[in-house]
Structure 1
Amino acid sequence: MVSAVRRRIVVITAVHAPSAHFLPDAYASLLAQELPEGWEWHWLIQEDGRSDEVAPYVPDDPRVTFAQGRPGGPGTARTLALALADGEYVKVLDADDQLTAGALARDLAVLEGDRALGWTTSRALDLLPDGSTVGFPGDPDEGVIERGALFAHWSANDYRPQVVPGTLFARRHLVLALGGWMALPASEDTGLLLALDAVSQGWYTAEVGLLYRKWPGQSTSRPAHIDPAERDARMAVVEARARALSGLRWSSPPTD
């Protein structure tokens, strides 16, 4: 019999006080997920810091675990949450975003169906304040993403990923082997995605899997996020890590 640990999807959410009030919407999108028999999700909500402002929005549900830690940004919070990750798969869900119906089941089916794939991503839509949605241009075709393909596109397009890192679903052992999310003030999720791309094939699902909320308080709307000097530094270390991993010729699963 397959153990309970191997039949669990761990959903990791980093949260800070300004975005905590969106957690009920994220929770509602989790409740709407239908998984194959024998599978369940475990939601790990990791506060980036210690305050009294997040806990009131955490659902009272045995499938939800809330933890706090020293502030260090979303990458640090997600990586800390890995200490409590008790499933075979890790799914990212930002506190202010929402999964679409069937997103977890689609991700799971892809990786359960092909052990050569290490991760999946999917189409995302911007969720605007008025409730309308807008798509992203340049989505890839549905199917296998060969190793290095995301890095090649990112490098050639002003360091803009072809897929949304916030839709990532990956094998937990790979996330751990790569050290989790990068210790950067932003782009830490892109760094992990490109690291995965360097060592494993992935998959892109054309069906919408995420509603990416746009709102004035989000971190990507702040001036520091687009400061040229910091952005150049972030992109440099993300690129160097991906190139180093590719140069090691390590792959998952191993090849002869």
Structure 2
Amino acid sequence: MTERLLSIVTPVYGPSARFLPEAYKSLLDQDLPDGWTWEWLVQEDGDDVGAANHLPTDDPRIRISKSRRGGPQVARTVAFGRSRGSLIKVVDADDLLPAGTLHRDITVLTEHSEVGWTTSRVLDLLEDGSTRGFDMDPPEGVLTSGSVLDHWKQHRRAQVHPATLCARRELVALLGGWLALPASGDTGLLLGLDALSNGWFIPEVGMMYRLHEHQITRHPHHSTGEEWEARMNVMRERAEALHAWIQRN
């Protein structure tokens, strides 16, 4: 592990590779606290992705690798296995980071030792270029351990967006990375982090979440049916088991 290094984890498959130049530009626009730098773990999910065709070859911070097709959750976890940073940041290939995002994440986690992870406000980026907000943002500050699970059990939706997560490395390692599910593995990670530690909500926009036709969230099984029920059950049961284990020990 390297202190003062932020590892950015990005899964990419064929249709999303074309968005990589915009994601890279948004990384170049970031400023970091003194002494900090970032590395970008771009993980190709399967064959014929061609991420290198969309990114410069002369930036040593970009580290591209390929793994067999397993979906974005598996690709994120493999990328985590290649990372070296003390903090782990989620950025999908089709999303954008507004200026200041990484600085805010690092500042919270270095100034608040009781906090293990951060999330931020999100704006959906629609295909026509317009944006819309996320409607459940909590107040700025500490998200007490267990509060995300309580909200999720009531609404089947977290009050914060898992695509904006930045977390301490040891917590991601304790959870084994992302849940290996067809979808919702990032929500599973969020619920696991919520069991292990307090979080922190940053009210400034920390993600432009691009909506497009190739997203897995557009699959008909994403929000209904037997697969959806199974995904919800896995996330709930693991989160509840983690909370119970911590309380007993």
TM-score (norm 1): 0.94
Equivalent-residue separation in structure 1 for 2:55 and 2:147 (angstroms): 38
Q: What is the deviation of 1:9? A: 0.3
Equivalent-residue separation in structure 2 for 1:171 and 1:250 (angstroms): 21
Counterpart position of 1:112? 110
Equivalent-residue separation in structure 2 for 1:20 and 1:225 (angstroms): 22
Q: What is the deviation of 1:50? A: 2.1
Give runs of aligned pairs for residues 120-131 of structure 1, distance below 5 A.
120-131=118-129
TM-score (norm 2): 0.96
Query: How many equivalent residue pairs?
Result: 248
SS for the counterpart of 1:99 is coil
Counterpart position of 2:174? 177
Equivalent-residue separation in structure 2 for 1:239 and 1:160 (angstroms): 12
Conserved? CA contact 2:7–2:87, under 8 Å: yes
User: Which residue type is aligned with residue 110 of structure 1?
Assistant: V
Equivalent-residue separation in structure 1 for 2:176 and 2:182 (angstroms): 16
Equivalent-residue separation in structure 2 for 1:135 and 1:190 (angstroms): 19
C-alpha deviations, 1:124-183, integer Å up to 9, x for none? 0000111111001121011100000000000001x1111110000000111011110001
Counterpart position of 1:99? 97
Which is further off, 29-38 or 222-231?
222-231
Equivalent-residue separation in structure 1 for 2:56 and 2:67 (angstroms): 19
C-alpha deviations, 1:162-221, integer Å up to 9, x for none? 111000000011101111000100000000000000110000001101000011111111
Q: What is the deviation of 1:12? A: 0.3
Equivalent-residue separation in structure 1 for 2:116 and 2:234 (angstroms): 23
Identity of aligned residues (%): 52
Equivalent-residue separation in structure 2 for 1:170 and 1:7 (angstroms): 13
Q: 2:153 aligns with which of 155, 158, 161?
A: 155
Q: 1:136 aligns with which of 126, 134, 137?
A: 134
Conserved? CA contact 1:124–1:136, under 8 Å: yes
Q: Where do 5+ consecutive residues of structure 2 fail to align?
A: none
Give runs of aligned pairs for residues 1-256 of structure 1, distance below 5 A.
5-60=2-57, 61-157=59-155, 159-249=156-246
Conserved? CA contact 1:90–1:171, under 8 Å: yes
Conserved? CA contact 1:27–1:59, under 8 Å: no
| 4+ long deviations beyond 2 Å | 52-55
Q: What is the deviation of 1:52? A: 4.8
RMSD of the alignment, in Å?
1.5
Q: What is the deviation of 1:225? A: 1.7
Change (3 A) 1:13 1:250: farther
Change (3 A) 1:247 1:219: same
Conserved? CA contact 2:109–2:116, under 8 Å: yes
Equivalent-residue separation in structure 2 for 1:181 and 1:174 (angstroms): 11
